[in-house]
């Protein structure tokens, strides 16, 4: 089988031909159809992600495909079942073996491309907004990086939860994607003053921030009393330093969200969130989709699109 492998943190990943793996106890073997890319893949390539595997390893954190083999002790799945899996690695390949506990059965209505774009992006936003920030109908949600892989889902989910959504993104095309996902107000991060516009709109109750840097500072200053700020990531490359005295004066709460971490300390919260999202998808409340698709032999181009921050929504690699 072919796989996109990291063999050194000093050289780019490359396609290699490997022996097809066989599932061990508690695992399922999957013929992979599609793999969703994430900012964390870029960090893994450099050895900078908190869960970077030991070298060598295959990139790709989340996949969809068909179960084609079962390890000992697996009875919740059967060959031929359509599944999505968060494996943490191993997804940019034609076959993979993953713990069965990390797989979910897919509804027939969801394509493999949509399923590969679904778990991390929608899961992160739903867990952040519903579980951590406890976003309420009628509250004002500011989404930074609103046209990115997770940001666009935060706009969509915030709209589905009844919030007034302010979307901040770069350029007219990305802002139009955010508007189509349900944003009520738009801010161009290249030309507009985030703080002034948000203050003119009455301030912000919840900030969803996968960007960091100067945008975090502007959003921080636009918060209403008792606002909640969700720190999702730092796509800008700048980790903000938080003035604790301002937290005190305005009774603000800053909270982090690492979706994969729930697998280790509260997996039932994560699986419950995914069940809710699958129900919402079936009901048409959300519309998961791959916004950019590349074949496996062009995986390097797909990763570069992500690195250059030129993507709108989710980037997916297909194995066909």
- CATH for 209: 3.90.180.10
Residue 175 has pLDDT above 90, yes or no: yes
Is 293 domain-assigned? yes
Same domain, 69 and 133: no
**Do 60 and 108 sit in the same domain of this protein?**
yes
Parallel, antiparallel or unpaired: strands 204-209 and 185-188: unpaired
Is there a single domain that holds both residue 129 and residue 243?
Answer: yes
Range of the domain at 203: 120-260
Q: What are phi and psi of 316, to 5 degrees?
A: -130, 140
Q: Is 127 in the same domain as 243?
A: yes
**CA-CA-CA-CA torsion sign (100, 101, 107, 110):** negative
Same domain, yes or no: 84 and 148 = no
Whether residues 254 and 150 fall in one domain: yes
Whether 10 is in a domain gets the answer: yes
> Does 146 lie in the same domain as 73?
no
Q: Are 27 and 76 in contact (CB under 8 A)?
A: no
- Judgement on whether residues 185 and 229 belong to the same structural domain of the protein: yes
Q: What is the pLDDT of residues 264-309, one digit of tens each?
A: 999 999 989 999 999 999 899 999 999 999 999 999 999 999 999 8
Q: Is the pLDDT at 235 greater than 80, yes or no?
A: yes
Q: Is residue 231 within 8 Å of 207, Cβ to Cβ?
A: no
Do both 99 and 133 map to the same domain? no
Q: For the stretch 229-248, what's the b/e string if a residue is b when 16 or more beta carbons lie within 10 angstroms of its beta carbon?
A: bbbbbbbbeeebeeeeeeee
Q: Mean pLDDT of all residues in the chain?
A: 96
Same-domain check for residues 243 and 138: yes
- Are residue 37 and residue 140 in the same domain, yes or no? no
Alpha helix (H) residue ranges in 5-55: 39-45
**Predicted TM-score of the model (pTM):** 0.90
What was the pLDDT predicted at 320?
75
Q: Which helix (H) or strand (E) holds 51?
A: none
Cis peptide bond prior to 56, omega within 30° of 0: yes
Whether residue 105 sits in one domain with residue 127: no
Residue 309: per-residue pLDDT: 86
- Cβ(154)–Cβ(143) under 8 Å? yes
What SS3 state is found at 60? coil
Kindly state whether residue 272 falls inside one of the protein's structural domains. Answer: no
Domain count, the chain: 2
């Amino acid at each position: 089988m072919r796989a996109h492998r990291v063999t050194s943190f000093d050289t780019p990943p490359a396609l290699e031909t490997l022996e097809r793996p066989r599932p061990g106890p508690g695992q399922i073997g999957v013929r992979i159809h599609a793999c969703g890319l994430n900012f964390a893949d870029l960090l893994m390539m450099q050895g900078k992600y908190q869960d970077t595997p030991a070298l060598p390893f295959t990139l790709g954190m989340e996949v969809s495909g068909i179960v084609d083999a079962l390890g000992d002790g697996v009875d919740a799945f059967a060959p031929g079942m359509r599944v999505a899996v968060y494996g943490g690695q191993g997804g940019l390949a034609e076959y993979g073996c993953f713990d069965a506990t990390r797989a979910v059965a897919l509804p027939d209505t969801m394509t493999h491309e949509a399923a590969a774009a679904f778990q991390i992006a929608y899961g992160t936003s739903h867990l952040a907004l519903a579980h951590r920030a406890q976003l309420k109908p009628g509250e004002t949600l500011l989404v930074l990086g609103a046209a990115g892989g997770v940001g666009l889902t935060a706009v969509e989910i915030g709209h589905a939860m009844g919030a007034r959504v302010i979307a901040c993104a770069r350029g007219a095309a990305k802002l139009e994607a955010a508007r189509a996902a349900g944003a009520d107000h738009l801010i161009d991060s290249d030309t507009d003053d985030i703080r002034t516009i948000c203050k003119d709109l009455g301030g912000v109750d919840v900030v969803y921030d996968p960007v960091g840097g100067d945008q975090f500072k502007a959003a921080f200053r636009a918060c209403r009393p008792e606002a909640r700020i969700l720190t999702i990531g730092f796509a800008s490359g700048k980790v903000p330093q938080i003035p604790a005295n301002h937290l005190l004066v305005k009774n603000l709460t800053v909270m982090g969200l690492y979706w994969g971490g729930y697998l280790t300390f509260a997996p039932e919260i994560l699986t419950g969130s995914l069940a809710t999202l699958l129900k919402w998808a079936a009901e048409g409340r959300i519309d998961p989709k791959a916004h950019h698709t590349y074949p496996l032999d062009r995986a390097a181009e797909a990763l570069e699109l992500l690195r250059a921050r030129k993507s709108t929504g989710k980037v997916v690699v297909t194995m066909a």
